[in-house]
C-alpha cells in the first residue's frame, strides 16, 4: 500500500493529517504510534472511506483506493469498540463479509469454521456478542476483518479496552494471525510496548505527520530527536553545549557537568543540544566504564523485574537508572555514594 501526500482537514482549518507519505510493502505490519490528537484515527478513517481527505492518493495493488466508495475498498477494519452486530451470533458475524460477497453457503461454512478455530472460539459459535467478554468480542471482530482475506487490514486500538493480561495474550494471537495470513497491516496504538511487540516498523506521529519511521529497535537505539526518544521508552535527557577540542567532543551541561561524547553528529551544526542516555545503560559500581562519575543515591524503588534508582551527580543533575532484578542485585539505599558510568557510545546527541 502506498499512501501519497494524504491530508485530512476538518472544518476547513483543523489539519489532522498533513501530507502523509507512507509506503507499506505487502505483508508488513506497520504501527502508527503517537500522542492523542496526532492524527492516527484520521488516517485510518480516510483509508477506510469514512472521512474525505482533502488531498492525496492511496494505492493498493495499483488501484487508487480513494476513488472507490467505502464498501468497494475491500479492507479489513477493526476498531476499539468491537462494532459487532448485536443481533447476530458469533458465526453470523464472522460470515457477514462473505455473505456480502455472495459466497456459496458451503464455502462460507468452511471458512467460518476455520476462522473460529484461528481465533480460538470453538464452542462459542451460537452466542451473541452480549454473551461474550470483551476479549472474545474482539476476537470475533478480528475473525470478521480477516475472513475475506483483505489485501490490507486497518486496526485502531483493537486491544485498547482490554486489561493487561488479555491484551498480552491477544497481542501474540494477533501477531500469529497476521504472520500466517500475510495481510499487510496498518495498526494504531498509543501503547509503546504493544507497538514494539507487534510491528515490523513503527511510525512515530506528531501533529499529523511522521516524525520518524523505523524498526522498533532502530527507533529505540537511534531516535532522531528528543520527541521520538521521549516517546519510546524512558530516557535521561541533559541539555548543554558542545565543545570540540582537537578530535575530542564534550558536552557541557547547563549545570556545568563536562562529559565526553562518542560523536556529536546528531546535533548537525548546532552548539546547544540535548544528550540522551537510557536508564538501563547506566551502570552502578561496575568496571570498567568509559565515562564515570560519583553520585548520590536519592531514591530506590522496586518495579518487579527492575530496580529503579534515582541518583544525583555532583553538578546537581538527576539521572534515572534501571537495573535488572537478578535476585543478587546489591541494595543501594538513599544517601549512599556510588560510582556510575556508561559506555561512551551509549550517550547520544539529539536534535530538538
Ligand atoms: N470529526 C472531527 N471534526 C473536527 N476535528 C476532528 C474530528 N476528528 C478529529 N478531529 C481533530 O483532528 C485531530 C486528530 O484526531 P485523531 O482522532 O485522528 O487523533 P488520534 O491520533 O487518533 O488521537 P487518539 O490517540 O486520542 O485517538 C485532533 O486534533 C482532533 O481534535
Ligand atoms: Mg484515535
Q: What is the CATH number for 244? A: 2.40.50.140
Hey, how many other C-beta atoms are within 10 angstroms of the C-beta on 170? 21
For residue 278, the surrounding DSSP H or E stretch is: none
pLDDT digits (tens, 9 = 90+) for 188-237: 998 899 999 999 999 999 999 999 999 999 999 889 888 998 888 889 99
Supply the Cα-derived Rg of the chain in whole angstroms: 25
Strand extents, DSSP E, the chain: 2-10, 14-23, 29-33, 55-60, 63-64, 76-78, 152-156, 184-189, 201-206, 209-214, 236-245, 248-253, 258-261, 272-277, 283-284, 291-303, 306-312, 318-324, 337-342, 348-350
- Same domain flag for 195 and 238: no
pLDDT digits (tens, 9 = 90+) for 9-67: 999 899 999 999 999 999 999 999 999 999 999 999 999 999 999 999 999 988 999 99
Question: Which are the contacts of 321, defined by CB distance < 8 A and separation ≥ 6?
Answer: 279, 280, 282, 284, 308, 309, 310, 311, 340
| pTM (2 d.p.) | 0.88
Number of domains in the chain: 2
Q: Output the CA angle 165-194-227, nearest 5 degrees.
A: 140
- Same domain flag for 222 and 264: no
Q: How far apart are CA 238 and CA 235, in angstroms?
A: 10
Whether the CB of 36 sits within 6 Å of ligand 1: yes
Q: Which of 16, 187, 190, 203 gets mutated to test ligand 1 (max ligand atoms within 8 A of its CB)? A: 16
Q: Give me 302's grid cell.
A: 522496586
- Same domain flag for 169 and 289: no
- Same domain flag for 70 and 86: yes
- Same domain flag for 215 and 238: no
pLDDT digits (tens, 9 = 90+) for 242-267: 988 888 899 999 999 999 999 877 76
User: From the CA of 15, how far away is ligand 2's center (Å)?
Assistant: 15
- Same domain flag for 314 and 267: yes
- Structural domain of residue 330, as residue ranges? 234-350
User: From the CA of 157, how far away is ligand 2's center (Å)?
Assistant: 8
Amino acid at each position: 500500500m502506498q499512501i501519497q501526500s494524504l491530508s485530512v482537514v476538518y472544518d476547513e482549518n483543523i489539519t489532522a493529517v498533513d501530507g502523509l507519505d507512507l509506503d507499506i510493502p505487502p505483508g508488513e505490519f506497520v504501527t502508527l504510534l503517537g500522542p492523542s490528537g496526532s492524527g492516527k484515527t484520521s488516517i485510518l478513517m480516510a483509508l477506510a472511506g469514512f472521512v474525505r481527505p482533502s488531498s492525496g492518493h492511496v494505492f493498493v495493488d495499483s488501484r487508487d483506493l480513494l476513488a472507490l466508495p467505502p464498501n468497494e475498498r475491500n479492507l479489513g477494519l477493526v476498531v476499539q469498540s468491537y462494532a459487532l452486530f448485536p443481533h447476530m451470533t458469533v458465526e453470523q458475524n464472522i460470515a457477514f463479509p462473505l455473505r456480502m460477497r455472495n459466497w456459496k453457503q458451503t464455502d462460507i461454512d468452511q471458512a467460518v469454521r476455520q476462522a473460529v478455530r484461528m481465533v480460538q472460539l470453538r464452542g462459542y459459535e451460537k452466542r451473541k456478542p452480549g454473551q461474550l467478554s470483551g476479549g472474545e468480542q474482539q476476537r470475533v471482530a478480528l475473525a470478521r476483518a480477516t475472513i475475506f482475506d483483505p489485501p490490507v487490514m486497518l486496526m485502531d486500538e483493537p486491544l485498547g479496552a482490554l486489561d493487561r493480561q488479555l491484551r498480552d495474550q491477544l497481542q501474540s494471537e494477533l501477531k500469529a494471525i497476521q504472520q500466517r495470513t500475510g495481510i499487510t497491516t496498518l495498526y494504531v496504538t498509543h501503547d509503546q510496548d504493544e507497538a514494539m511487540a507487534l510491528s515490523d516498523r513503527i511510525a512515530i506521529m506528531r501533529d499529523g505527520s511522521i516524525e520518524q519511521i523505523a524498526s522498533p529497535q532502530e527507533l529505540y537505539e537511534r531516535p532522531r530527536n528528543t520527541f521520538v526518544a521521549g516517546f519510546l521508552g524512558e530516557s535521561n535527557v541533559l541539555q548543554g553545549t558542545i565543545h570540540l577540542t582537537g578530535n575530542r567532543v564534550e558536552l557541557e551541561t547547563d549545570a556545568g557537568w563536562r562529559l565526553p561524547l562518542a560523536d556529536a553528529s546528531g546535533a548537525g551544526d548546532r552548539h546547544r543540544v540535548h544528550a540522551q542516555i537510557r536508564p538501563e545503560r547506566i551502570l552502578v559500581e561496575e568496571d570498567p566504564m568509559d565515562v564515570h562519575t560519583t553520585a548520590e543515591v536519592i531514591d530506590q524503588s522496586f518495579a518487579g523485574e527492575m530496580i529503579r534508582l534515582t541518583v544525583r551527580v555532583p553538578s546537581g543533575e538527576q539521572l534515572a537508572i534501571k537495573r535488572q532484578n537478578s535476585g543478587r542485585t546489591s541494595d543501594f539505599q538513599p544517601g549512599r555514594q556510588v560510582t556510575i558510568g556508561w559506555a561512551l557510545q551509549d550517550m547520544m546527541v539529539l536534535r530538538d
